[in-house]
Amino acid sequence: MRLAIQGSLPDSQLLDFLRELDPADQGAVSAYFRSSTTVRSVLTKFPVGFSDSDFKGIQRVVDRSETGALVLFGQSSGYVIVPPFAIMTDEVFLGWNFDPLLGILKRQPIIGVLLLRLGRYAIGVFHGKQLIESKVGKRYVKGRHKAGGSSQGRFSRIREDQSLHLFDRACRVFWERVAPHSGELDCVFFGGEQLTLAGFKKRCHHLSSFSHLISRRILNSGEPSQKELVRAPYEIWKSQVSLLEMDNAI
């Protein structure tokens, strides 16, 4: 089995992609797997032939995804779609069946979002794609210093101290805005620069209350701002689509 990443598609482009699949493809199979599923136990119930390599390859995809995967098998190839939110039930259909996927895309979850780069943060709460709570702030953090010696050491200490103040402020605002929704919160997404986010996660003790809800996926975002918050659902609702080539054609 060979898997080639095609890209991440926002929901509107994903729907266009699905419409282009040949509706007359005889023998097509649509298989939905939860992230914790043993693929072989599901697929062996259906009259489709897979090699051990195929089973192992599909299992790796499912294991890597925190939301599960939809695997579409056609006559000679297929696709793997990793949706933005979790597949809740293992299901296999003969033919193309996108109803469970469309149901996922139509969900209206409560989502916490934190966008962070050195100097700025933007925090919001969404009901579906509607922003219902937000706060944008900034705190000066020195840029990089090119000189060496003791001057470099002093600069690094100042920069680290300013970064920690930024993290503490963003942590406090995150708690103030997101905690009131904790009883109904479905997931939390972070966006921004990965090293900065890693430092924030170590510093912000409030995150322990949401650790089970934090997505591993980092949103692609620019400088944290109200504008970037508003466009966050465009990134959140993206699905990863990959081309799947099986060892044995169905």
Q: Is residue 132 part of a domain?
A: yes
Are 99 and 122 members of one domain? no
Helix H or strand E segment including 158: helix 149-178
Half-sphere exposure of 53 (CA within 13 A, CB side): 8
The answer as to whether 203 is a domain residue is: yes
Specify the number of domains making up the chain. 2
Specify the CATH number for the domain of residue 227. Answer: 3.30.420.60
Residues 121 and 28 in one domain: no
Same domain, 95 and 115: no
Domain with 51, as residue range(s), is 2-106+237-245
Strand partners, 194: none
**How much is the pLDDT for 250?**
47
| pLDDT-flagged residues of the chain (< 50) | 142, 145-150, 155, 157-158, 249-250
| 57 found inside a domain | yes
The per-residue b/e assignment along 158-179, b for 16 or more CB within 10 angstroms, e otherwise, is ebeebbeebbeebbebbbebbe
Separation CA 79–CA 102 (nearest Å): 16
Query: Which residues have CB under 8 Å from 179's CB, separation 6+?
Result: 206, 209
Residue 250 lies in a domain: no
**217 and 122 belong to one structural domain:** yes
Report if residue 12 sits inside a domain. yes
d(C-alpha 90, C-alpha 42), whole Å: 8
| CATH code for position 11 | 3.30.960
Residues 120, 72: one domain? no
Cα first-last separation, the chain: 13
CB 123, CB 138: distance < 8 Å: no
Distance of CA 21 to the CA centre of its chain: 25
For residues 216 and 126, state if they share a domain.
yes
Q: What pTM was estimated for this model as a whole? A: 0.85
Instruction: State the DSSP string of 69-104.
Output: EEEEE-SS-EEEEE-SS---S-EEEES---HHHHHH
Q: Do residues 88 and 35 make contact, with C-beta atoms less than 8 angstroms apart? A: no
Tell me: do 114 and 230 sit in the same domain.
Answer: yes
Say yes or no: 52 and 137 in one domain: no
